[in-house]
Structures are given as C-alpha cells and as structure tokens.
Amino acid sequence: MELRIDRQAMVPVVQQIVDGLTEWIQQGDFPPATRLPSVRHIARCNLLSQSAVFEACERLVAQGILAARQGSGFVVASAARPLRDCDALPCTGREPSGEAGGALSLGGGSLPESWREPDDLSYAIRQVARTDMTSLFGYSTPLGLPVLRAQIVKRLKQLDINCTGEHLLTTAGASHALDLIVRTLFRAGDCVVVETPGYAPLFELLRLHGVRMLEVRRTPSGPDTDALEGLLRQFRPAALFINSHHHNPTGSCLTPAVAQRILQLSRQHDLRLIEDDVYADLHHGGGVRLAALDDAERVIYVGSFSKTLSSSLRVGFVHADAGIVARLAQVKMISSLGASRFCEAVLANLLASGAYRKLVQRQRQRLNADRAAALQALEDADWEVFGKPTGGLFIWARSPSGDDLRLRRQAQRCGVSLPCSTTFSPSGEASDWQRINVAYACDPRARQFFRSSTSDRPQVF
C-alpha cells in the first residue's frame, strides 16, 4: 500500500495518511469487514512511524470509515452506497463547508481545518488572559475596542481607503455586519440589487427581512453594468450588494473601468453601494475597491478576519459614513450588547505583533500553489473555467459532460460532495457551474473526481 506522503508539504503527515487511506479504500471498493494491512506493515512500506499511522486510523474510525476490531487491527466499516436517481443530496441553500457527512466538500466556503495554525493564536489568547482581565469579563465599546479599530484603520489605509475612528464599527464577523446593515437601512418591501451567482447567506438574510432582490449577472470583470443601469432606471433600487475582490463564488475581481462605471451609476441614481471584501487579505498585488474611489461616502465597506484567522474568532468591521456608523452602533447595542471584547483583544494582539500579517502571507503562498495546480487539473479534465482567478479561495468551473446527475454520482463515488445546483442563485435557478475551493482541489479525492469526470463523459460517434 503506497500512500505517496509528501514530507515537504504543509499538510500534516497524519492528515496525508488519512487522505491516502481514504483514497485506497474508495478505489478498492472493499466490502465491510475487509481487514486493512497492519499498522506496522503500512508504516514500514511508507517509511512512517507506527504512531502516526495509528492516529490516522483512529481518525478514520471517528469518521465511520474504519472500525477497530480487538485483536484484528482495523477493518473497513462500510461500503459506499451507490447513488440512486431518487436520492436527495443535501441542499439547504446555506454556505457549504469543509466536510459533509465524511465526504470532501469541494465547494466549501472556508479554509480546511488542517490549514489552521494554532500556535500564534494560542499565544495571543494566553497573552490577553494574563494581561487584560477586562477583556475576559467585560463588554466591548459600542464602536469596538479602540486598540483594534486603530489597527484596522492602518490596514485600510494600505488599501487606499481613508478612514478615521468614527467611520469604523467592529462586528462579530461579516455576517453580523451585513445583518446590522440590512436591519438598519432597509424595510420589508424595499428593493436591492444582488449579483448572480452570489453569496447564498446574503440571499437568505434579505428574504428574512422581506427585502426584494433584483439580479444582475456577474461577469469576469464585475457586474454587468449595462444590465445594472437598466434595473436602476426601471426599479430605482436602494442599494447594490457587491463583492469587489475574489467574488464568491466565481473568484473574479472588479476591474477599474467597471468600478468607475458603478460609482457613476450610483451618483446618477442615488444608489448605495455595499461592498463585501471579506477575502481582501487573500489578495496579492494591486486592485481596485469602490471604497477607495468613493468621494461621496456612498460605499459601505465590510471586512472580516474570520475567513483567514478562525471561523470561531468572529471579528469583522464596517467602514461607512459617520452617521451610518452611529446608527449601526445603536442597533448593534440593542440587538447584542456589542461584539466580543475578548475576540477583539486577541485579534488586536495578533495584528500589533505582526503574526497575522505573516499568517496571511503563508496562506496566500499556499493558495497560489494550489490554485495553479487546480487550474491545471481542470484544464487536463477539459473543464471550462470562468476566468482565471489570481487570488482568493474559489474557482468557478463546469464539467464538459453537462449532465448534473451523472456528475453528482461520480462525485459521490469519489467521496466528494458538491453544492446544490441552486445554492448561488437568488431566484433558485439551477446551474451546471461548480464552486471549487482551491484549498480542497488538490485533495486526492478531488483529483480522482476531476479525472473520472472526463473518463465518464459520454462518447460521441
């Protein structure tokens, strides 16, 4: 049994063993109770420690892939059940994440847990616990912890966004920021423009508050501005929700020409712009942001540290006109009594020490390598790619087969789950395009899926 362990990779060896054993079991299609080679044998054949192999097997037991048998080592727990035409795949319209029922969620919305680096975070947590007792027990201020807001102001200036303290509000992540914005600025029956494909949780949030959505198609350079102008003339919506960099789910970025046209339309039609830039730290090189070009304070800019640092350490922020920030702060205090002072203090520590900057540099480097490999794998499998993203998490692509059911069958056979075909549409329209998370695309299960999607394609004679 060859597991092809790469000791130079940033993925921990134990996780590589888990992935290798999972692929071996799936490819072999072994029936339940099939005995694995002994831990000693696997370790010897792959020049691994027995403890690492044993830990990997224990993880597979926890995932239900293996079972431990007294005196018999490890055996296959269950065989993969073939997908039938009537089987319903999970489809909630929510943002997919990491692992779905033990399968690799190829369209997951965040970095894998194995990519997380706990050392700097643990150190910052201990520092705050030792030196800032108030943060352990007290509320944060309405606008957020001053020391953190000062750090965010510095970061925004690096993006050419001029900012002062009264224009900034911290939140419990970007989702909290969007919720505050929708609660504060819109009422049931109001009309806004959203991008399609787009961010599924935003659609659910707007529906929750009874806000009507108009769809504008996302292109590789940003929203279709001609279509946007038509919507503005006909319906006079109150706002446009937009991803500037590394759009979710297409991975595309706003070009300067499109950004200038959007700002021009916003002035002509009194349109508020809500710019969601949660993947800003995963962008390298230059770029254009609406908030950096805005001279009339029409842009509400939303950022977050949850995507890069920790999904549990919920810290985001809003940059906007001082009057809007004051209104958002009032709603924030009424609805939640503020954000977590402890989380804000930990993040401030990481920003001030430089640990966060180094962390995102490593993440960008790793994503760049995996993105290049993923794009090559998709090209080899004849998948069509929606532009070629240069940063962020996502690639938007579709299989040459054009058969969604066949593709999902093949994905399940490879241990891969795909987002529901309607997830990224505000109106629930099915799409044959797939969101592919770069950080999962080099997993052996994903590679096998890409290869099999080509071999499973119907032959034309």
The string of pLDDT tens digits covering residues 289-299 is: 999 998 778 99
Report H helices in 186-238: 200-208, 225-235
Mean pLDDT of 57-76: 84
Mean pLDDT of 48-52: 91
Distances (CA, A) of 179 to 75, 214, 312, 335, 357: 48, 19, 18, 11, 28
Per-residue pLDDT at 94? 52
What is the rounded distance in angstroms from the CA atom of residue 54 to the CA atom of residue 234?
64
Element (H, E) at 300: strand 299-304
pLDDT band at 192 (very low <50, low <70, confident <90, very high): very high
Model confidence at 91: pLDDT above 90: no
Q: Write out pLDDT tens, residues 21-42.
A: 888 887 777 888 888 999 999 9
Per-residue pLDDT at 255? 93
Answer whether 287's CB lies under 8 Å from 301's CB.
Answer: no
Model confidence at 461: pLDDT above 50: no
Q: State the average pLDDT for the chain.
A: 87
Q: What are phi and psi of 320, to 5 degrees?
A: -160, 180
Cis status of the peptide bond prior to 419, with omega within 30 of 0: no
Model confidence at 145: pLDDT above 80: yes
Per-residue pLDDT at 22? 86
How many other CB atoms are found less than 10 A from the CB of residue 276? 26
Distances (CA, A) of 104 to 19, 97, 436, 445: 10, 9, 11, 7
- pTM of structure: 0.77
Answer whether 258's CB lies under 8 Å from 223's CB.
Answer: yes
Mean pLDDT of 270-285: 90
- Domains in the chain, please, with CATH? 1-80 (1.10.10.10), 85-110+360-461 (3.90.1150.10), 119-356 (3.40.640.10)
Per-residue pLDDT at 460? 39
Per-residue pLDDT at 313? 86
pLDDT band at 86 (very low <50, low <70, confident <90, very high): very low
What is the rounded distance in angstroms from the CA atom of residue 445 to the CA atom of residue 26?
9
Q: Write out pLDDT tens, residues 363-374.
A: 999 999 999 999
What is the rounded distance in angstroms from the CA atom of residue 136 to the CA atom of residue 116?
24
- Pick the residue with more confidence: 231 or 454? 231
What is the rounded distance in angstroms from the CA atom of residue 163 to the CA atom of residue 165?
7
- Pick the residue with more confidence: 295 or 73? 73
Model confidence at 418: pLDDT above 80: yes
How many other CB atoms are found less than 10 A from the CB of residue 361? 12
Mean pLDDT of 191-214: 95
